[in-house]
Amino acid sequence: MSSKQKYTKCFVTSEDGTIVGYRQMGSGPGIILLHGGVNASQNLMKMGKLLSDEFTVYIPDRRGRGMSGPFGSDYSIEKEDQDLNILLNKTGAHYVFGTADGALFALHAAISLPSIHKVIAYEPLIFAGQPGLDEFKVTIKHLDKNIADNNIAKATVEITKDSAAPVRAIPDLVLVPLVKLILWINQRNVKGDEVPYQDLIPVLGPELHVVEKTEGTIDEYKAISAKVLLLEGSKTQSLLKDSMTQLYNVLPCSDLVELKCLNHDSAQDYGKPEPIANEIKRFLKGK
């Protein structure tokens, strides 16, 4: 899909000199789409196409991936704010959609950036004292170790097991070799501006440490003046649903919508982005 959908490739330079590359398509009011952790711009191309008939869509490779520069030694949520601010200034867009980590960064940027008029956040994760955080922190530690050992296949397996219950019964002796094969095939088949998953797994570690640092910050989101649409899937984990509830309770101008039969992966090309795109259009058109 991503290699066939036509787009223009553009670049901006963030405050610290980091290059941020993005894909542009469509026409109309501008909307920036921010992908999640183990993803890049290539994974929001279906969403981009669904929106491009009514909007000019901008899909960056967030820093650490593909067309964009590295995280840098002082990576933080404020760096994500700066990157998004540069994109807003360059494109003139006032709407931002984000999924997972991208949803968190869209919301956080809206605290300080008045040029963001509307935010659509699909299942952002914020640490707000909800049950399950201790287990999630253990997952992050395991991820750190696997990345440090350059064991990308094992890291992928453990992340998958933590998020997909049916996979947990399959032993690692079966899954790890299978994932190694899948990663090898994927790396051989990537084209153009696409990023192989072998390169995307390691960037999840630094991002999750940024997510960890959101603990105790929930009240900061009371300062968002933008209108916010919070979206969640009916099949998502309770940890994420608790994040949504906490955010809904503090955001001054927000709606919370549950979409039936969707899960945390639904915004991506390998999910079901159509219902999410429909909600985005409804919200942005004020209907």
Query: Which pair of structure tokens corresponds to residue 272?
Result: 């079901």
When mean pLDDT is compared across 85-99, 147-161, 204-218, the lowest value belongs to 147-161
- Ordered DSSP codes for 248-270: HHH-SSEEEEEETT--TTTTSTT
Instruction: Give the per-residue pLDDT at 113.
Output: 98
Instruction: Give the per-residue pLDDT at 70.
Output: 96
pLDDT tens for 158-192 read 888 776 656 777 888 888 999 999 999 999 999 99
Boundary residue ending a domain (177, 207, 237): 207
Boundary residue ending a domain (171, 189, 207): 207
Cα gap 68→2, rounded to integer Å: 17
Percentage of the chain lying above the pLDDT 90 cut: 85
Q: Judge whether 197 lies within some domain.
A: yes
Mean pLDDT of the chain: 94
pLDDT tens for 221-253 read 999 999 999 999 999 989 999 999 999 999 999
**pLDDT exceeds 60 at position 49:** yes
- CATH number, domain of 82, equals 3.40.50.1820
Instruction: Give the per-residue pLDDT at 3.
Output: 43
Q: Judge whether 69 lies within some domain.
A: yes
pTM of the model: 0.94
For residues 232 and 118, state if they share a domain: yes
Determine the structural domain holding residue 193 and report its residue range: 133-207
For residues 63 and 196, state if they share a domain: no
The whole-number average pLDDT for the span 257-269 is: 96
230 in Cβ contact with 244 (< 8 Å): yes
Contacts of 23 (CB under 8 A, 6+ apart): 7, 8, 9, 10, 41, 45, 48, 58, 59, 60, 193
What is the distance in angstroms between the CA of the first residue and the CA of the last residue of the chain? 30
pLDDT tens for 111-126 read 999 999 999 999 999 9
Radius of gyration, alpha carbons of the chain: 18
For residues 85 and 12, state if they share a domain: yes
Percentage of the chain lying above the pLDDT 70 cut: 97
pLDDT tens for 69-83 read 999 989 999 999 999
Report which of residues 287 and 256 the model is more confident about: 256
For residues 67 and 172, state if they share a domain: no
**pLDDT exceeds 90 at position 269:** yes
Report which of residues 172 and 64 the model is more confident about: 64
DSSP annotation of 156 reads: H
If one counts the domains in the chain, the total is 2
117 SS3 class: coil
Instruction: Give the per-residue pLDDT at 2.
Output: 40
Q: Judge whether 169 lies within some domain.
A: yes
The whole-number average pLDDT for the span 131-143 is: 91
For residues 102 and 37, state if they share a domain: yes
For residues 113 and 234, state if they share a domain: yes
Boundary residue ending a domain (184, 207, 230): 207
For residues 222 and 246, state if they share a domain: yes
